[in-house]
């Protein structure tokens, strides 16, 4: 079986993790097939590219051309609009959902005016709300490149997803993990998505063995918030859902926030509901947020 993956260290590491998990469960050998995506070669900032789909479309092309059988994405890179040609055959159990600060100092200990690198408008907005006295510098490139800017002294710190840093063995570089109350993660952050063609029933069944229903319910709620807000709001969005029990049928607790890019204004709401109603929970919460003015917080980040 052929697993399509981006060529970056992060992508190949997480794809190999998934491949190994399938091999352990099923005994099937899985070969990684490296794919270069537009998001990997372009020099533009992700925010200018419309963020999401740039890493996904090349992998999907290979699925359609039958050059690979399935692909592994970071769930937060997937566009919220489902493409009917594909299906998310598995969403494995989520790793750490939080954001991490990499550098020699904790966030509170950074000197005023310190330069903090991140390519994410969501992180800039939420960090600005906590510390407007710092300078937030847009950066791109893979995790190693970004961490290197701290080592070289070009930046005082960078903010990256905690899960990715752990996956590539850079957990020791983390100065601080931001709790959800400080920095609400991107919808789906820390989770992976296993995608294949919708017409491959045999494959969908095989891949489904790694699906984690609790993670699927949580990220479904988070992504439903994002999908509903994307219609009228270009401001940074964070969302996180977790269930309060160890079995399905418990309550799913969802928190979401929209923040103006300068960090001065925010609409933050929480709701709870059944995991089986995850998508509806997300849509309803988004509607409440829009009613409270979430769509007005676009500021200079508007279209």
Pairing of strands 174-178, 99-102: antiparallel
Choosing from 60, 94, 115, 123, the catalytic residue is 123
Residues 86, 81: Cα–Cα separation, whole Å: 11
Q: Which of 156, 170, 216, 233 is catalytic?
A: 233
Annotated active-site residue 131? The verdict is no
| Catalytic site residue from 6, 146, 149, 167 | 146
Measured CA to CA, the distance from residue 77 to residue 96 in angstroms comes to 16
Would residue 76 show up in a list of annotated catalytic residues for this protein? yes
What backbone torsions phi and psi does residue 263 show, to the nearest 5 degrees?
80, 0
Q: Which of 62, 131, 140, 283 is catalytic?
A: 140
In this structure, is the dihedral angle defined by the CA atoms of residues 74, 90, 258 and 133, taken in order, positive or negative?
negative
The pairing of strands 115-117 and 252-259 is: unpaired
* Chain centroid to CA 274: 23
Q: Which entry of 6, 122, 223, 269 is annotated as an active-site residue?
A: 122
Catalytic residue status for 69: no
Please identify which of the residues 69, 77, 173, 295 carries the catalytic annotation: 77
d(CA 191, CA 22): 16
- Of 10, 119, 7, the residue nearest 59 (C-alpha): 7
CA distance 156 to 229: 33
Q: Which residues contact 266 (CB under 8 A, 6 or more apart)?
A: 129, 257, 258, 259, 260, 297
Question: Which listed residue (6, 60, 76, 197) is catalytic?
Answer: 76
Concerning whether 123 is annotated as a catalytic residue, the answer is yes
| Residue 233 known to be catalytic | yes
State how far the Cα of 80 lies from the Cα of 34, in Å rounded to an integer.
24
Query: Which residue in 142, 74, 118 sits closest to 236, CA to CA?
Result: 118
24 is catalytic: no
Asked whether the beta carbons of 91 and 21 are under 8 A apart, the reply is: no
**Could you give the residue numbers annotated as active site?**
76-77, 122-123, 140, 146, 233
């Amino acid at each position: 079986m052929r697993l399509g993956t981006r060529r970056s260290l992060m992508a190949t590491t997480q794809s190999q993790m998934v491949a190994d998990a399938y091999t352990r469960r099923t005994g099937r050998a899985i070969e990684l097939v490296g794919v270069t995506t537009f998001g990997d070669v372009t020099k533009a900032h992700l925010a200018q590219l419309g963020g999401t789909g740039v890493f996904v479309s090349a992998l999907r092309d290979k699925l359609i051309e039958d050059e690979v059988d399935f692909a592994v994405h970071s769930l937060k890179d997937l566009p919220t609009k489902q493409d009917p040609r594909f299906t998310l055959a598995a969403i494995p159990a989520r790793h750490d959902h939080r954001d991490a600060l990499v550098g020699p100092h904790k966030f509170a200990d950074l000197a005023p005016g310190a330069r903090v690198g991140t390519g994410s408008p969501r992180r800039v907005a939420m960090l600005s709300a906590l510390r407007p006295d710092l300078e937030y510098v847009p950066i791109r490139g893979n995790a190693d490149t970004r961490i290197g800017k701290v080592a070289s002294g070009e930046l005082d710190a960078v903010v990256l997803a905690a899960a990715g840093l752990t996956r590539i063995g850079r957990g020791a570089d983390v100065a601080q993990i931001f709790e959800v109350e400080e920095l609400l993660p991107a919808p789906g952050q820390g989770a992976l998505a296993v995608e294949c063609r919708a017409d491959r029933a045999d494959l969908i069944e095989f891949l489904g063995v790694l699906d984690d229903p609790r993670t699927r319910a949580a990220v479904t709620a988070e992504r439903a918030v994002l999908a509903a807000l994307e219609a009228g709001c270009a401001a940074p969005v964070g969302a996180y859902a977790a269930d309060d029990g160890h079995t399905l049928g418990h309550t799913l607790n969802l928190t979401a926030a929209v923040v103006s890019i300068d960090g001065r204004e925010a609409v933050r709401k929480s709701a709870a509901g059944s995991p089986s109603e995850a998508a509806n929970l997300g849509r309803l919460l988004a509607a409440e947020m829009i009613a409270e003015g979430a769509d007005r917080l676009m500021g200079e980040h508007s279209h």
